[in-house]
Amino acid sequence: MSIVRVVFWLRLATLVGLCLPALDLAWRWYTDDLGARPVTLATHITGDWTVIFLLCSLALTPARAVFDWMPLVQIRRRIGVAAALYAGLHFLIYIADQKWNLIVVALEIAKRFYLTIGFIALLSLAALAITSTNGWQRRLKRNWKRLHWLVYPAAVLAILHFFIQSKANVSEATVAAGLFAWLMIWRFMPTRLRTEYLGLLLLAVGATAVALLFETGWYGLVNHVDPMRILRADINPDLVPRPAHKVLLAGLGVIVLVAARRLAVQGKRLWTQRYIRRTIPTS
Ligand code: HEM
C-alpha cells in the first residue's frame, strides 16, 4: 500500500476511534443505560477518556521513534484536539450537574483545589487545541513550540486532579501516573538508549517504580496507610493485577511490539532481497 493510502486509512481509523467513546456515551444516555447516577458516571467516563487521549497524544512522538514509523505523526494533532474536546464535554456535564448555574460553578472552581487544577488543565488544553492549526503555527513561529510545551504541565495537573477526586481508590490514577512517567523518562533519556531494548527495559522498570512510589506515597500521605502494606499487596498473587503490574505489563508490551515490528521489517527486507536475486539475473 502506498504511504498516502496508509496515512488516509490511519487518519480515518483514528477519527472513528476518537468518536466511538462519545457515541457510546450518547447511546447509553439515550437508552437510559448509565445507572442510578447518569451524570456522575458520564463525568467519570469523559474524564477517563480525556486522560487516555492526552496520554495517547503524548505517546505518539516516542511511538514514532521506537517503531520507526513516520505516519504516526499525522494523527497527533487530531488526538490532542480530541483530548481537549472530551475535557470540554466533561466540563459541560459538570455544569449541567450544577443546574447550569455558572455562579455556583465559578465558586466551586475557586473553592475546591481539584476543580481549580482541572479547570487550569482544561484552559491549557483548549489553548493548545485552538493554536494547533497550521495558520497559528505560522503566526506564532518559534513561540508555537514554547506554547505547546504547556501540554506537560497540563497533563501533570490532569493526573493530580484524577488522584484527588479518586479519594479512596487511586488505582486508575496510579496507572495513568505510571504511563505518564514512562513518557517523561523517555524524553529525558539519552537519545541512543531511547530505541534500544535495554533502554525500553529500563523505562518499563523505571515507570513501574514511579507508579509504586505514587501509590505508596499517596496512600501514605493522604490515608496514612503503611507503605509496606501496599508493597505486600503488590506481591500477593491473589491481588493481581495491581496498578504497578499494569504499568510493568504496558512497558514490557512495548518491547514485545517493537521486537515484532523489527522482525517483520527484517523479514520483508530479506524477502525483497531474495526476490530481486531470483528474478533479476546477475550479469
Ligand atoms: C483537562 C481537564 C480535566 C481532566 C483530564 C479531567 C479528568 C478527570 C478524571 C480522569 C476524573 C475521574 C474519572 C474516574 O474516576 O473514573 C475526573 C472526575 C471529575 N472531574 Fe475532571 N478533569 C478535567 C477537568 C475538570 C473540570 C474543569 C471540572 C469542573 C470544573 C472537573 C470536574 C470533575 C468532577 C466533578 C469529577 C468527579 C468527582 C467525583 O465523582 O467526586 N474536571 N476528571
* Unique residue bearing C-alpha cell 501533570: 156
Ligand 1: does its nearest atom lie under 6 Å from the Cβ of 242? Answer: no
Ligand 1: does its nearest atom lie under 6 Å from the Cβ of 162? Answer: yes
Q: Best of 99, 161, 171 to mutate for ligand 1, by most ligand atoms within 8 A of CB?
A: 161
pLDDT at 124 over 80: yes
* Among the listed residues 117, 109, 56, the one whose alpha carbon sits nearest the alpha carbon of residue 86: 56
Residue 169: other Cβ atoms inside 10 A: 8
Average pLDDT over the chain, rounded to whole? 95
CA-nearest residue, atom 40 of ligand 1: 40
Compute the distance between CA of residue 157 and CA of residue 54 in angstroms, rounded to an integer.
Answer: 12
Kindly write down the DSSP assignment for every residue of 132-160, as one continuous string: TSHHHHHHHTHHHHHHHTTHHHHHHHHHH
- The domain ranges of the chain are 167-283
Q: Best of 51, 54, 85, 90 to mutate for ligand 1, by most ligand atoms within 8 A of CB?
A: 90
pLDDT tens per residue across span 56-65:
999 999 999 9
pLDDT at 1 over 80: no
Q: Can you say whether residue 60 is alpha, beta or left, with left for phi > 0 and alpha for psi between -120 and 50 degrees?
A: alpha
CA-nearest residue, atom 25 of ligand 1: 118
pLDDT at 283 over 80: no
User: Mean per-residue pLDDT for 67-85?
Assistant: 94
Rounded to 5°, the CA angle 160-178-193 comes to: 130
For residues 277 and 14, the model is more confident at 14
pLDDT at 131 over 90: yes
What is the CA(91)–ligand 1 centre distance, in A? 8
Cell (9 digits) for 2: 502506498
Q: Which residues does 239 contact at the CB level (< 8 Å), separation at least 6?
A: 233
Residue 104: other Cβ atoms inside 10 A: 12
Percent of the chain that is helix, strand, coil (3-state, to 5): 85, 0, 15
Give residue 161's pLDDT. Answer: 98
User: Mean per-residue pLDDT for 46-64?
Assistant: 97
pLDDT at 54 over 90: yes
What is the CA(158)–ligand 1 centre distance, in A? 8
User: Mean per-residue pLDDT for 98-115?
Assistant: 97
Q: What is the pTM of this model?
A: 0.94
Compute the distance between CA of residue 180 and CA of residue 163 in angstroms, rounded to an integer.
Answer: 13
Compute the distance between CA of residue 61 and CA of residue 77 in angstroms, rounded to an integer.
Answer: 12
**Phi, psi values for residue 81, rounded to 5°:** -65, -40
Give the pLDDT band of residue 167 (cuts 50, 70, 90): confident
